[in-house]
Every structure is written in structure tokens, then in C-alpha cells.
Structure 1
């Protein structure tokens, strides 16, 4: 009989995480199929002594990190913390234990015999901890007999954290749930280290790639307005936020400090000595902090994973939050409405979002004067004024709907009014996204290909509980960052239907909420809002404005910031996202054998830049390749009528298909054995009339002239 290996976590009386290992003492080695792998025709075994030593050392190291390196990101003061913050930190700690133990076991395998990285990952993932005591402690195993929460088919409203959207897999797509992978992870060592070249070498410096392939130039798009970028950023915040102690000047972890050079979360990027911009400030390093590790959703050892802090579903979480604690802080608990504040510059204008008592950004924390940052369902809402504006629109829309519902249904209490208004706003955002935003982004051909065309009448019957709506790593670290190419360096502010216009520099707008409070009295935020749908976005290509390549999150008194392109490149690498060529193969596109194969598919200047920095075409990062693609027509690859090339269109199409087919609360769904909360046919038809332009007209202060589709160039002929 094979030995039994049992692993469990518990909280000690001191509030510390402890690991418990139980082994059957009757055997010396593991002989079961789950603990033996054939490596180059040789059987490799791990002794129980090795396992015990690895787990013990990993646990000790995590406890040491908890007191030192991780002090800023993990709970340490309260021995009996409660709520979702504690649950999240437990998951982080378990993620570190899992990652470190796997890394130590990998080293043991290397001592035995040099083993290919995919073999290491395969072996460690075969150690199924669900068959141990760990199975009862796994945060993603749902036991209705032990769980405080119950999955209910008849619940008419989404849980705010996404719990039990999927009745079969209750934690799938919830906040603080690991992202999924359309393609297996590609870590440098198979488990944890950032992706390396196909020859095993370190990939090119991210800033050198940014300088060579993603230069700072401007060129307006011919038809697409700035709303594509603004709404796109709102949607990105809808379904993605990696767990990370934010770096640069505003985080607690300073990775460019020499004493932190070996910190397990540091991944700072060195600037080249001849960098034309940063060298003038004698800057040699850009802060970069790794995403926090997550325990695998199957509770197995294996490649490092990362949590998504927000719900994966399109559920208006930037407006309402992804945890009950955040949701409650945003509610007025009166008449179903969200909290608001009177505009301090002009009380006759419509209200604004409430003030944030606690901010995740030092820019907001150090702000003096009356114009504080706003509280929202997402911590990133104050990043720029245009994002604040779109948030404010939907907060006002919620309260407008709640007020209307109260008039029609005076017998409804606060909870019913809040939930019904939230349900309608979530449906509106889903409809706007699929009806107006996606057709421009990936085109009608891809909408049809991926099953994303909305119905004009009747219900959608495609819901499938086996479809995983969780976000994919490549989608969130690369493909849906397409909007960074559309960003303008200056934002239009237009008053009185184009009678006068001024501009606001983006590099002077990061975390500067005063531009929304007092934009142009007495018009409030309307000039900024009007500018969004009048101004053209930048062209969709490999060119990016300097405001995000050299000035990202720049402080008001500084002359430099971060490079967003470097962050994109390095974030994908540190999360083990495969290369551009691997994604093309996944999408059924031609794999490039050499640089010449790219011609006709990728912008020529981008090919030259890639050739200058990458040693091999197979090393190109997915963000770099995807953002540089040409929209192909009639040249051997499927025609696109969107603004993206085929690889990003494929990645986005697949993900949005999952969002629709894997969401039990999708607004078009009909009642079935899985669903008992569908809109009535007449209600659904009213939602189908919604356009973003209608939301703007209903919730702006004075805008009374607007094009029907605010995502494309307006025409009033």
C-alpha cells in the first residue's frame, strides 16, 4: 500500500499560518503513480524526508517574509482578522508556500538530473493535494455543509463578489480567484521565473524594446473617438486587477533601492545608460513589482499563478465594487441610491461621486485643499479625469434608475431598489459593450465568428456552466491593453457645443480630480465629457504618446514618470504569458519562421525595431507583436473589419465569448434549469434600446446634442 501524504494549513493561536504534514511511516519513498515521473527513461522519486524538509523550510521562509519583506502587503498586526481582506491574505500566504515549495522540489529534481522545465511542471502538478487534508482547506473547494454561504438557483441578483454565479463551480470568476490560461504558462524555469528566450537566455530589456519598437509619436485615427479608449479602460477595470503591492513612488515597496535587490517581489527594470529621456534626470532604474502568487485553483503544486482581485464577469463592478465591504461603503442605504456629494464649485450642477476616505494612491493621500479623490467600486477610478467622468456617469445613472423605480414601486424597500437598479445598470453596460464597443474593436466578422452577435428579440440560450468566464493571463496583460495605443497626449475640453475649446495635458492629469470638480465653471465635467466623444483617438498601431511612455503617473512637481509599455511587457513575462508566435499558433494563424515572414502582417517599422533587439522571432513578446499587427484583408488570413489585427482580435473574441456564455446572469438569458431571474421580454426590449449616448444625455448637466454612436466620428447631417 502506498504511503499517504497529507498537507493542511491552520491558524495558530498567535494568528500565524502553520503547515501540517502527515506521512505514513511505513514506506521510505513515494511509489504511487501520482508521485513518480519518467525522466529520460529513468524513474525519479522524492522521499518523504525531502517533502517534509521542503514544506517545513517553505513555511518558515513565508513566516519570515510575513514579518519582514511582506510586512507591507500582508496582515501582521491583528491576530484574529476577519472579512474578505483576511481571506485574501490567507490565499496570498498559501500562494507563497505553494510557489516556494514547488521551487524547492524543482531544485531537488535538478540535483538528481537536469530536467526539462515542462517535465518539472508536469511532475509537480501531478501531486494532487485534493486527496490530502489540504483538500478540505483549499479556498476553492465548495462544501455546502461547511460553507457559510449557500448557492441559490432562485437568487434574482448577482452576489457582488461573483460567488455562485456558476452553481457547479461557485468560486469561478469571483474576486480573488486565479486567472485562467488559454495556453499553458511559459516560465523561464517552468515554474516561477519570468519568461526567457527560446535559447534559455534573458529576454531583451523592456525599455530598450519600448524605445526601439514603440516610439512616441502622434497620429489621429480617421474615425474612432476617444470614447473607445475611455470606455475600454472602464471595461478593463471591469474584469481585471492583479494582486500586487503597487510600485514606483506611490507603493510601499521600493525595488530600485539597493537593499531590496533580492526581494522576492522585486523585478525592477534598469534603464539603458544612453536612454534619451531618463538619462537627463540621472535615472537608472524603474520600479517594477511582481504580482502576488496565488495557490492553484486545483490546489496542486505547479507553475506560479496570480489572483484577479475583481470579478471576471461584466457586472458593473467598477461602480459597485467586487466585495461586500466595498459595496456597502458606496451605498447610501436610503431609497436604493449610491452615495454622492454635492459639487462644491456649483451646487446647481448634478452631484459627483463621494470622497474617498482611504486611497491606494499616495497622490490622493497627500492632496491638500478641498478637491479630494473620489470613492468608487474600483481603486483605479482616479487615474485620470476621463475615467472619473465615465464612472460618474454610471453612478448618476444608478441613482436616476433607483429614483424612477421608487416612483413606480413605492412599496419597495432600499435593498430591493438598490439591487434592481444595479441589475439594470449591469445589463446596460453589457449591452453597450457588445452592441457599440466590440463591433468597432474586433469587427462584425469576428463577432459572428466568436458568437458575440446580440439578439434583436427573444432570449439568448447559450449559457453553459462548463464555460469558464475567468479572465486569461494573456488577455489581461497584453490583448486588452490595446487601448494604450489609442491614448491622446492632450484631452479636449469643449464648452457650449463646440463654441470654445481648450486642452488638458495627460501628463498633468494623473490623479488630479480637481479637473472634474471645477473643470470649466459653470459647466462642471461636461466640457471633458463632450471632448471625449468629439476628439479622435490616436491611431491603432505601435506608436504610443510620450505621456504614457515617459510620464505615466507623474507627480505634479516632477518632470518624469514611468513607462507603461515596459510595464506591459514585463507584466506578461512575470506572469508566464507565452510569446507572440505561440499566440498566433493558438489562434490558428501562420507561425513566423523568420523576420521576413512578418512582412505584410506587421508594420514595417515595428519589424525593423524587433529585429534590432530580439535575437529570434520566437522571442517577441505578445504585447509588442499584437499591437504592431496590420489589419489584414484578402491576403491569406481572415478579413477583419475592426481596428485590431488578427491575434488580438482572436484573444479578445475568445475571452468575450466566455464572458457571455459563462455568465449565468447575462442580461439576455432566459429562465431555465440554471436560471430563474431573467428579465421579462418587455424589460429586455427596453434594455436593447440603450446606447451610451442616451446615458450621457440623461446624466450630463447640459449636453443636449450628441451623435447616436459616440464611439465613432459624430455626424449631424
Structure 2
């Protein structure tokens, strides 16, 4: 007997006894539909750099954190630990079955703990379907930089005469966290785990880099604001009040930068300009810039558990920097740069790559982010990385071998190939235990009760699907991918949303198919139009933005375009190149904490915005002096 809170685990097809088949194991879907492992990682984008992927992960951690259930005293749960010859029967467990003969995993069980259940939003304790939590603010508000609660922000802020700054540790890194927050190996005893507004900061090097960047950028802006303030001799406030003002003003500018880069440059590359216009997501268009007070700007379950996980297909199999490291004999050259590589499985939760010497390999690592290519979405059937030049034109792959001078062409294959670093070695420990990220995405969607793929197509205006023939007659999937789906699922209605969405042909100008594109577009619509603090909005319904014209003139030139596109635009904007800021070392004295609480009101509901009282803005005359602040060294 199924319970209303049970995960989605059964097919709509019955066997001869009237029992419903179980859905195929998530690992089988990963291997059979999503392409399995791409060990050599040959399929690299000719449009986007690794920063395109890294920004997406950083952005995701600003909006979504779904906690999993815990045991006694917040202990992690191991659902594959056998007791008396049997796996534990617990409501928190939803183990993944590993098919016999798997090439990587020998155990028949892969640990999977269900997401923590949430109480009903209306406050009534009545039987209802299971809902999940979001532990961070859903708005794009820099919560991964500043935290989602007053207590977290208190941990991250400096105090005393430097209370306008975020804390730094060592050579201008974010503050140190407990050693349990990451993996510190014996040969790296002088290194430390990073602490940030989001607890996942140490997960992978490219993510930690984004956090370092924005801590330094906040402190740079805040120091510049304080410098301009002193020059104009505005000392009628106490030092504490002035520093609070500088902190909040700098925070406001940082949030605006994140919003601007996301909507102006990153999101259009994901969903295409057609949907940017349809869902009123463009910047600098009055008809797209309005506040909707009735909009609920929380995160959709389907967005967090399926659609926005598309970015996992962009993850490269290594992390790199352009320094010849004698301890790491793996090199490759691209764009006249020589890069040292580390397999992704060797850097999960290890901060050592950015702390190699006194100041860290930050400049060298940033070169990799902005020079090298992310994994690509449309894949040519064959590609020799070292000898072949490839172009995609008119849905055909054009190959030119620079050694043999042979030219060939073939069809574009939209078969996904996730790197084996995340299909076979995700979070691998010293015992070789690991996980499969695409399989976890499938299982997480089932855990959250996300309906099958055919139930979501209508969001994109696609025709209903009733059988396999309907899918074959449509234009959303290649015959190759349809055959893979048919071999894996017993019914077209069994297809998991993640599997069906990831195998769709991409929308024009985007890197996802129409179903995911519409879910993502709708989510970013409510995040923009349901945010009364949106950075573009000067006035609405009596509310006046704290972003003055001067601040807008600071933010408007900011661009990541040359950092997420392999081929820079012919005419560059007045471009600050955010990535290059990392090399500008701001020397900041860490002041001991004082026992003074930050006066921030947090609305109890987990998905509501952290409300912070912002001191009136600095005058236009003063802020105009700040315009060059991002491009000048402090």
C-alpha cells in the first residue's frame, strides 16, 4: 500500500499478476540514456569557457540548498550499512540499486538519503504529499556570499573599525572554517577549509574560486566607499553607523552585479533570446522591468530537483591552472597556455589547489577558467582533441585533420556524455566508495515525487504524448535518444523528467531543450518580477530603490562576456573582467570579533528574503567618485 509521502518508484505498466513494475534503477538510466561515462572528455565547447559552468554552480548555490534527513545528533545516515544481513528499513532511506555486472560499482547498493520533509506552508498538520525545504533565500541576493541568516552573516563579518568588511584569513582568503568542512591531507597541514555564506564552498575548486572573488570584491568596494566618504568629510554619524552603511551599500552593489551578469550574459546562453523576451527577462527594457507583488518568488521543486541540474553535463573531468607543477605530470596546451591538470575526483572538498603557495594559484587558476572550454551540449560523433578542428554548421559536424589534411563531415549527436569523474567517482573517498551524479539526479526527482517527463511538456507548448509513436513523430528527440529511452523504460509515461529533458534537442541559442528552458525561464521570471529589491527598479508602488544613478553607472559596464565566451566579441565593452579582480590583492587587517549582534531581521519562512534595513544611499556627488572603483587597485 503506497503512502502519500512515498517517492515515485513504480511504472504505470503491470506484470502478469497485476503488480506494477518498478521503474528502472537510476544507475541504469544514467548508463543507458544519459550516455554513461565520457572518460576522455573529448567533447568540448567552442562557444563557452569553464567559467560558464562555474558561474552556474555559484548561482545555483545562491538560490537552492535542499537538506537531507539526518540521524541522531545530526549524524549522517548510511542506508547501505547491512544489519543482520539486511539493509535498514527507514523512512529516510531510498537506496539506489546497482545492476549486476556494473563496470564500476561492485556493491548492489548505492547510498541515498531522502530530502528532509517540510511542514505544510499553511501551518495545518493535515495529511498531505511530502514537500521539501530550501535552507537558503530563494532570491538572487548573494546569500552564498553573505549568508541567509543574521547569525551566519555575523560569522562572516569583520568588526570593530573594519566592520564594513567581510572577514579574511591568511593571504586575503575567506575566513577559515572547521577542519571537518573539507579534506585536509597531511602534506597540506598549513592549509585550511574556507567558510562562506553557503556551506558548499569547498565542494570543488572552481566554486571556491568564485567565493574568493566576491569576498575580495565586496571588501574592495566597501573600502572605496569608505575612502570617498572620508574625502568628503561626512562624519556626522558614529563610526559604527558609517561602517554599517558602507557594508550595506557594498552588499547592495555586489548583489546587483550578480543579478546583472546572470540575466544579461549567462541566462540568455542557457535558454536563448526568444524565451528571454517571452518571459520579460531582458535588462534595460522598461516593458520587462516591473514588480508583481502577487508573485511568489520561491523556488519551484521541479526547478531545483530536475531542470536546473542541466549544468552537470557541462562539468569537465579536471581542474587546471597554467603552472608547470613538478608534482603533477599532466599537462596540455590550449591558446598558447600550458595547463597543469588534476582529475576532478582528486580535488573534491580539497582547498589545496588554491593554496599552493603564499598567495595561492589564483591568477593561474583564473586563466584556466577564462581560457579553456567547458564541456559542450551538442556533440559530434567523433573528435580527436589533438589533431582535429571541428565546426558545427547546418546541424552537421565538419572535421578537418591538421595532420592528414583530410576533411570529413557527419551528423551532430545529441547523446549526452557526462564525465566519468561524476558518474563513477563523485565524492570518492579513500576506500574507493563514490556516487553517480546523473543517477542521483534521477533518484532525487523520484524522491521529491516529480512527475514523469510527459506531464511537463505542455509548459513548453509541446503536444501531448500518449505512446512511443507520438514521441517519434515529434521534433524534440533524435531517433537515437528515443531508442535509448525505449530500451530503458517500459512506457513512455515512465520517463523521468531529468532523462526526458536532458535528451531533448536544444532551443535556438540555448543549451537546454524546450521543456527545461520553459521551466528555467518561468523560475527566473518570478525571481526577477517578485523581487521588490531588484537592482534595476528605481520606483514602484511607492518603493524607491537604493541604487542611485551613480551606482547604476558603476554596475552597467560590468561583464563576464569575454570570460564565458571562447571567442571574445569584436568590440569589447568597457569591461572590468570580474575574473581578473582576483589578482588584485587587497591587504586587510583582521580585527578580533566583538560581542555585538548584527541588527538584521530575518523573516521566519525559509523561502522569504532576508530583510535588512539599508541606511539611505550616499549622494550622487559622492558615488560618482566611485565609478572607477572596480577597475582600480585599492
TM-score (structure 1 length as normaliser)? 0.65
Are residues 324 and 366 of structure 1, via their aligned partners in 2, closer, same or farther at CA, if it must alter by over 3 Å? farther
Question: Structure 1 residue 694 and structure 2 residue 577: aligned?
Answer: yes
Contact 2:316 2:375 in 1 (8 A): yes
Question: Structure 1 residue 329 and structure 2 residue 204: aligned?
Answer: no
Compare 253-262 and 206-215 and name the one that shifted more. 253-262
Question: Structure 1 residue 658 and structure 2 residue 526: aligned?
Answer: yes
Determine the structure 2 residue equivalent to 1:474. 302
CA-based RMSD: 2.5
Determine the structure 2 residue equivalent to 1:485. 313
Q: Over residues 522-568 of structure 1, what are the superposed CA-to-partner deviations in whole Å (9 max), with x where a residue is unaligned?
A: 7621211110111111122522110000100112x344511001110
In 1: Cα distance, 2:7 partner to 2:506 partner = 34
In 2: Cα distance, 1:652 partner to 1:499 partner = 35
Contact 2:459 2:515 in 1 (8 A): no
Which is bigger in relative contact order (C-alpha 8 A, separation at least 6)? 2
In 1: Cα distance, 2:189 partner to 2:266 partner = 38
Correspondent of 2:144 among 318, 334, 357: 318
In 2: Cα distance, 1:368 partner to 1:502 partner = 19
Determine the structure 1 residue equivalent to 2:506. 631
Contact 1:205 1:269 in 2 (8 A): yes
Correspondent of 1:549 among 413, 418, 423: 423
Determine the structure 1 residue equivalent to 2:6. 192
In 1: Cα distance, 2:424 partner to 2:469 partner = 31
Any residues of structure 2 matched to 1:122-137 within 5 Å, and which? none
Any residues of structure 2 matched to 1:66-215 within 5 Å, and which? 189-199=3-13, 200-214=20-34, 215=36
Secondary structure of 2:46's match? strand
Cα distance, 1:498 vs. partner?
A: 4.5
In 2: Cα distance, 1:290 partner to 1:523 partner = 38
Are residues 368 and 697 of structure 1, via their aligned partners in 2, closer, same or farther at CA, if it must alter by over 3 Å? closer
Cα distance, 1:644 vs. partner?
A: 1.4
Determine the structure 2 residue equivalent to 1:278. 105
Cα distance, 1:284 vs. partner?
A: 2.1
Determine the structure 1 residue equivalent to 2:118. 294
In 2: Cα distance, 1:493 partner to 1:246 partner = 37
Determine the structure 2 residue equivalent to 1:38. none
Cα distance, 1:246 vs. partner?
A: 7.0
Q: Over residues 572-617 of structure 1, what are the superposed CA-to-partner deviations in whole Å (9 max), with x where a residue is unaligned?
A: 1111111111111233212233334334422443322211121001
Any residues of structure 2 matched to 1:245-644 within 5 Å, and which? 245=69, 252-259=76-83, 261-279=88-106, 283-300=107-124, 301=126, 302-333=128-159, 334-343=162-171, 351-357=172-178, 359-360=180-181, 363=183, 369-410=189-230, 411=235, 413-455=242-284, 461-495=289-323, 498-518=336-356, 524-540=361-377, 542-555=416-429, 557-599=430-472, 600-632=475-507, 640-644=508-512
Q: Over residues 121-176 of structure 1, what are the superposed CA-to-partner deviations in whole Å (9 max), with x where a residue is unaligned?
A: xxxxxxxxxxxxxxxxxxxxxxxxxxxxxxxxxxxxxxxxxxxxxxxxxxxxxxxx
Cα distance, 1:673 vs. partner?
A: 2.8
Secondary structure of 1:267's match? coil
In 2: Cα distance, 1:615 partner to 1:548 partner = 27
Q: Over residues 488-520 of structure 1, what are the superposed CA-to-partner deviations in whole Å (9 max), with x where a residue is unaligned?
A: 10233125994432212111110110111117x
In 1: Cα distance, 2:364 partner to 2:339 partner = 8
Contact 2:321 2:361 in 1 (8 A): no
Q: Which blocks of at least 5 consecutive residues in structure 1 are unaligned?
A: 1-106, 108-187, 344-350, 633-639, 703-717
Are residues 237 and 522 of structure 1, via their aligned partners in 2, closer, same or farther at CA, if it must alter by over 3 Å? closer
Cα distance, 1:393 vs. partner?
A: 0.5
In 1: Cα distance, 2:509 partner to 2:540 partner = 35
Secondary structure of 2:29's match? helix
In 1: Cα distance, 2:180 partner to 2:244 partner = 27
TM-score (structure 2 length as normaliser)? 0.73
In 2: Cα distance, 1:488 partner to 1:353 partner = 25
Contact 1:213 1:605 in 2 (8 A): no
